Amino acid sequence: MANVLTKNDDYQHWRDNKLANVFTQLEDCIVEIKNPFELKNSEKNKITSLCRQGNFAIFHISKQNDYADAIVSINTQFGLVDFDQHLYVQDKGLAHITQIGNKNQSDFIPYTDKAIGWHTDGYYNSTEQRIRAFSLFCVSPASEGGSNEWIDPQMIYLLLRENNPDVAKALTHPKTMTIPEHRVNNIVRRAKSTGPIFFIDESSNALYVRYTQRKKNIEFLDSIEIKQAVEHLDDLLNKKTDYHFQHLMQAGQGLLCNNVLHKRNSFIDDKDNPRLLLRGRYFNRIE
C-alpha cells in the first residue's frame, strides 16, 4: 500500500479492490461470538476479513461475569496487546467510558454526556504511540441517545480523492495539523504533535488517518489550500454516504476496528444504570 498516495496506478488498483469488496449494510458486519475466551476459527476469520476489507467489525457476546476479562481475551486473540496506558486507563488496559463527577476527568468530553465530533483516536499522540486499533464495548447503553457513527478512514480518503484529487493531496502535507502541547500546572503532560491527516503508517504499511473535527486547540497549516481541503473533508464526513454507519450499541455489543473515523451523539443517562462502555486503544493493527 506504500505507493497508494503517490502513484496513480497503485492507487487505482487499491481503489478498485476496495470498492469491489466493500460492505454497506451493518447486518453483514455483525459477528456472534459464542465463547470470548476461545474464538472459533469461523468467528475469527469473519472478523479479520471484515477488518481487512472495511477496517471494522461489530461483535456480540452473551452475559459475562467479568466483561473486562472477556474483552481483553477477544482483543488478545486479534493481536491487540500493546495498549495505550493513558491517564484514565484502569481495567486491564481498558478505560471505562461513563459520566464522571470528578472535576478533572470531566474536563475530557468522553467522560460527560456530550456529543463528540468526528475524529480518530489518539490524534494527539506521538508516532511511537500511534493508535492503530481500538475496541469499544457496551456494558449498558444510555436511557436515551448515545449512538455512534463511523466510517472506514481509508474510504474517506478514496471518496475525497475521487471527488477532488488536489484536496486529498493537500492533506498529506507533513505540517497539515498541529495539536499544541498539553500543560497541567505548568508541567508538560503531552508534547506538541504535528503531522499530515492522510499518510502511510510505516510499521503497518497501511493508509492511516489522523484527524479531529474539534477546532479548539487545533492549528491547521496557515494556507488557503489546506483550510479549504479541511472544509471539504468536514463536508464529506457530515454527509450520509453508503459508507457511513450509525448504530446504537446494545448491551453485549462491541466494535473492533483499525481506528475508524467516529463520532458520538449526546445522551441522557438513567441515574441508576448509567451508560458504560469499555474502550481499549492499541498500538497494534488488526490484520
Report the interface residues with Fe ion, using CB under 5 A: 121
Q: Which CB, 54 or 110, lies closer to Fe ion?
A: 110
d(CA 259, CA 215): 20
Q: Cα–Cα–Cα angle for 111, 112, 118, nearest 5°? A: 85
The secondary structure of the chain in percent helix, strand, coil, rounded to multiples of 5, reads 30, 30, 45
Residue 200 grid coordinates:
502511510
Q: Which CB, 121 or 269, lies closer to Fe ion?
A: 121
Shortest separation between residue 118's beta carbon and Fe ion, angstroms: 10
Residue nearest Fe ion, Cβ-based: 121
Cβ neighbors of 85 (< 8 A, separation 6 or more) are 93
Shortest separation between residue 121's beta carbon and Fe ion, angstroms: 4
Q: Which CB, 51 or 261, lies closer to Fe ion?
A: 261
Q: Which CB, 125 or 167, lies closer to Fe ion?
A: 125
Bridge partners, 277 (sequence order): 97, 138
Residue type, 151: I
DSSP 95: E
Q: Which CB, 121 or 201, lies closer to Fe ion?
A: 121
Shortest separation between residue 119's beta carbon and Fe ion, angstroms: 6
DSSP 174: T
Shortest separation between residue 165's beta carbon and Fe ion, angstroms: 29
Shortest separation between residue 285's beta carbon and Fe ion, angstroms: 16
